Chains A and B, each alone.
Chain A
């Protein structure tokens, strides 16, 4: 067997992690607004998606984010007991606990997937959580799932390029 090896995590000091964040409308998104109007500076690596409730985060969204090239996924919801819809954040917590186990066994580091309770008044916490996550992801290096799949799919080209020359009868026999 040929065992080509590709190192994905080449050290690169310019590497900037990409984080997809799902923030609930009532607490964490409002907190990130507060961080903005308070002119708190936090790392620009995060793409925030506003959702009505952390309970609306379908695990498919999280997997899709990773599969599309995110290095980390952050979910922000209201503190336990504070959910605008009474228990959406508990639903998220329950999914988070199992999804984390599953992602772990699929080789995705625990640091890459994070759930934080951030209330509307905690603009400072938005800043510290994001900065902290970016630092940790920089240490881990890129996840690059689309790149990994592309590299693996290179092997599919071997045949399509060389195909369609039928083997001669003699070559066919040599398999026996």
Chain B
């Protein structure tokens, strides 16, 4: 094997879109493939866990891990890759903030199991069978990883050096990140590799954002014909732009859909959802409880709206239950 820097990709609890986004580099992938050796990428190449274990500690130059950490197996692999790598990058919203999988933190593990293996309309399971961690079959021990009680971000399990945000990160950001790392000029540890300003700053509809927003009604995107030229907030559509980091070049807004917040907050904000809630509510037009509540009925699911990609990294992290 050549002495080019070694790059690894790994996939934890996520949809696979992050893997897809690597291929979205298009012809640039040849540039990446020319500059580095990809030595571990289960979705595309045939390497096994044993091959990684056989490597020397710290011998991988950079590892990009996507997906939240939800099972004991993902935890084990994340730790293994951490040991073998100089730089670990949390790739995409799920690794960065928990992503959509972390909305599972609104339920306990037993509630989830109960639904998935019992109550879901398409399930027939009169024996109430549940997945078992180990099972003897023909004197062979068959095992399954354990689903954890909490969905976690990558940095809640291992030490993370950089974050590449987005659901998924754009090819442009990935290319920039790889070039930055190869240049040897490392940004400070913990940097989110995307501009540290609000999405509104790079939004093509920025000019039409009124300085004095006043909400008389909140609409979900399917409830209204959205004017393609005007700021979505001025139309009463919940757009997470003000509390979301820039870097995607307003992709969703270009598709006439509101920002849903996948890039996470800027460095000045700790809790993206709370900040967005604060900003929206301050600009409600009513002053009395009944009037305010009526307008707020337009946001039927605040957790899913404000923490769509980040419940695991929010201040509360999960639904509070009496039994853990």
CB-CB under 8 A from B72, the residues of chain A are 158-159
A149 touching B317 in the complex, CB below 8 Å, given contacts A166-B53, A175-B143: yes
Is the C-beta of A60 less than 8 angstroms from some C-beta in chain B? yes
The CA-CA distance from A107 to B270 in the complex, in Å, is 21
Cβ of A174: which chain B residues have Cβ within 8 Å of it? Answer: 140-143
Whether the Cβ atoms of B306 and A64 lie closer than 8 Å is no
CB-based contact A8/B322 at 8 Å? yes
Residues of chain A contacted by B324 (CB below 8 angstroms): 4-6, 8, 148, 151-152
With CB as the reference atom, state the residue of chain A lying closest to B272: A60
Is the Cβ of A60 less than 8 Å from the Cβ of B270?
A: yes
**A-side binding surface: helix, strand, loop or mixed?**
helix
A1 to chain B, nearest CB (A): 6
User: CB < 8 Å: which of B75, B130, B141 contacts A159?
Assistant: B75
Q: CB-CB < 8 A to A151: which residues of B?
A: 324
Number of A-B contacts (CB under 8 A): 150
Q: Mark B106-149, 1 if CB is under 8 A from A, else 0.
A: 10011001000000000000000011110000001111001111
Tell me whether B267 is interfacial, beta carbon within 8 Å: no
Provide the A1-16 mask, 1 if CB < 8 A to any CB of B, else 0: 1111111110000000
Interface stretch, picked from A28-36, A40-48, A91-99, is: A91-99
Size of the B side of the interface (Cβ < 8 Å), in residues, is 62
Q: Which of A75-113 contact B (CB under 8 A)?
A: 80, 87, 90-91, 93-95, 97-99, 101-102, 105-108
19 contacts between A and B (CB under 8 A): A1-B132, A5-B324, A8-B324, A55-B282, A59-B277, A63-B314, A63-B315, A63-B316, A67-B317, A93-B292, A102-B277, A105-B303, A107-B319, A145-B316, A152-B318, A153-B150, A158-B72, A159-B72, A167-B50
Q: Which residues of A contact B (CB under 8 A)?
A: 1-9, 55, 58-60, 62-64, 66-67, 80, 87, 90-91, 93-95, 97-99, 101-102, 105-108, 143, 145, 148-149, 151-153, 155-156, 158-160, 163, 166-167, 169, 172, 174-175
